[in-house]
Amino acid sequence: MQVIKHRANLLVALWIMARQICFASANIFYLNACGSIRIAVAGRTANQRRLLAKRVWIPLVILVQLGGVSATVRADETLSVLKVGAEVYTNVTVTAVTLTDLFFTYDRGMANVKLKNLEPALQSHFKYDAAKAKGVEEKQKGVNLQNALPATIDRANAKSVMEDAIARVKAIVNQPVRQLGRASDMNVASYGPAWFHAGAAKPNFNTVDIRATQDLQYGLHPYVTSDLNPGVVFIGSEIEFNPATKYFYTDRTLPKQKLTEAAMLEINRLYRIIGSCEQQLKDAQNAGTPLTNLFRVITAHTPAILGLVVLLFLTLLILRQKRAAL
């Protein structure tokens, strides 16, 4: 009888200890479970979608296409010379073709021209349709592109919209830079052994303003070069460095063209789109079926679950000992 009483006292002590641990773990479990549930339903309400839509705008080329879809896109198609009226563009790389416009990079930067101003042969090559283009232009009349209808980004299109925005950022950031042959009488500043250090910090797409981080130190010199570019120089006032865009540098053997105010504002806008898309994709990953969410919560809070099991086991054991004592 004395042994049974001793065992019962030991079990009671263990039960009290387990209960305290369990209560603390259960409290943490409850708070974290509520947080997980909030994440699982984030972004699903109509109000949240409308709020997101007010902050995100359609990319510039998509805005140009209001009222119609692209006739064709010949990305990366190259033309040695493109003549549009009195203007002549050399080393042209086509980035996009819409019903009304041709977008491209060339040896002096980026540009776009109206398809209706191209020579007949090029109009045919890019499948220009005068009737469809006129319809698009009619719909665009009176539209302020900065206040056009906002894009609706959701979990279904977030990946494709983000990829498109990233491609546009890369096209702006990696514009060709004018190169000159090095002459003996040039005052040249050399940067080396390379233009940029390895690696790049991922910018905060939701808050960064790349205008604040634009570095124009190269402009202190008339000409600059690096060990990577023997026999070639670049005009210092035409290039820049920006840690907030370095993440998208594709060719680090060349310096980057100095961005205009308009180009930097466009990148800021595209960054916001990328940030919104990343949040949608994160929400989609966190969301799942009720059973999946339950399993995820249980897996993440194993100590609390074990505490509950131990508490239940000790309770049953104490009740059994009391019955045996009777």
Tell me whether residue 50 is in a domain.
Answer: no
163 and 280 share one domain: yes
- Asked whether the beta carbons of 8 and 325 are under 8 A apart, the reply is yes
Tell me whether residue 52 is in a domain.
Answer: no
Tell me whether residue 49 is in a domain.
Answer: no
Location of structure tokens 């879809």 = 69
113/248 Cα distance (integer angstroms): 26
Tell me whether residue 170 is in a domain.
Answer: yes
**3-class secondary-structure state, position 250:** coil
Residue 204, phi then psi, degrees to nearest 5: -80, 100
User: Domain range spanning residue 87?
Assistant: 60-149
Last residue of a domain, one of 149, 183, 205: 149
Q: What is the rounded average pLDDT of the residues 210-237?
A: 95
269 and 293 share one domain: no
What sign does the CA torsion over 121, 126, 132, 138 have? negative
List the beta bridge partners of residue 88: 83
Strands 101-106 and 109-114: antiparallel
144 and 163 share one domain: no
Strands laid side by side in the 78-84 sheet: 78-84, 87-97, 101-106, 109-114
- Asked whether the beta carbons of 115 and 100 are under 8 A apart, the reply is yes
**Residue of 166, 148, 149 whose CA lies nearest to 278:** 166
261 and 306 share one domain: no
Q: Supply the pLDDT for residue 16.
A: 58
What the block records as the tokens of 82 is 């493109």
21 and 125 share one domain: no
249/147 Cα distance (integer angstroms): 30
79/158 Cα distance (integer angstroms): 33
195 and 260 share one domain: yes
Last residue of a domain, one of 149, 184, 218: 149
213 and 138 share one domain: no
Tell me whether residue 31 is in a domain.
Answer: yes
Q: Supply the pLDDT for residue 69.
A: 38
**Residue of 81, 102, 105 whose CA lies nearest to 93:** 105
Q: What is the rounded average pLDDT of the residues 28-50?
A: 40
List the beta bridge partners of residue 75: none
Tell me whether residue 261 is in a domain.
Answer: yes
pLDDT band at 31 (very low <50, low <70, confident <90, very high): very low
172/267 Cα distance (integer angstroms): 8
Report helix angle 158-173 to 261-286, nearest 10.
150
Q: Is the pLDDT of residue 51 over 80?
A: no
Q: Supply the pLDDT for residue 39.
A: 35
pTM of the entire predicted model = 0.48
- Those residues whose C-beta lies under 8 Å from the C-beta of residue 215, and which sit 6 or more positions away, are 240, 241, 242, 243
Q: Supply the pLDDT for residue 48.
A: 44
Query: Within 13 Å and on the Cβ side, how many CA atoms surround 166?
Result: 18
DSSP 60-93: HHHHHTTTS--S---TT-EEEEEEETTEEEEEEE
Tell me whether residue 53 is in a domain.
Answer: no
Last residue of a domain, one of 83, 116, 149: 149
pLDDT tens profile 244-301: 999 999 999 999 999 999 999 999 999 999 999 999 898 888 876 566 666 666 777 7
Average pLDDT score over the chain: 76
Residue 105's H or E segment, with its range, is strand 101-106
Q: Supply the pLDDT for residue 135.
A: 79
What's the alpha-carbon Rg for the chain, to the nearest Å?
31
Strands 188-191 and 223-226: parallel
List the beta bridge partners of residue 291: none
277 and 302 share one domain: no
233 and 275 share one domain: yes
221 and 181 share one domain: yes
Residue 106's H or E segment, with its range, is strand 101-106
pLDDT tens profile 134-177: 877 776 554 434 433 345 778 888 898 999 999 999 999 999 99
188 and 263 share one domain: yes
Number of structural domains found in the chain: 3
Residue 181, phi then psi, degrees to nearest 5: -70, 140
194 and 142 share one domain: no
pLDDT band at 206 (very low <50, low <70, confident <90, very high): very high
Tell me whether residue 51 is in a domain.
Answer: no
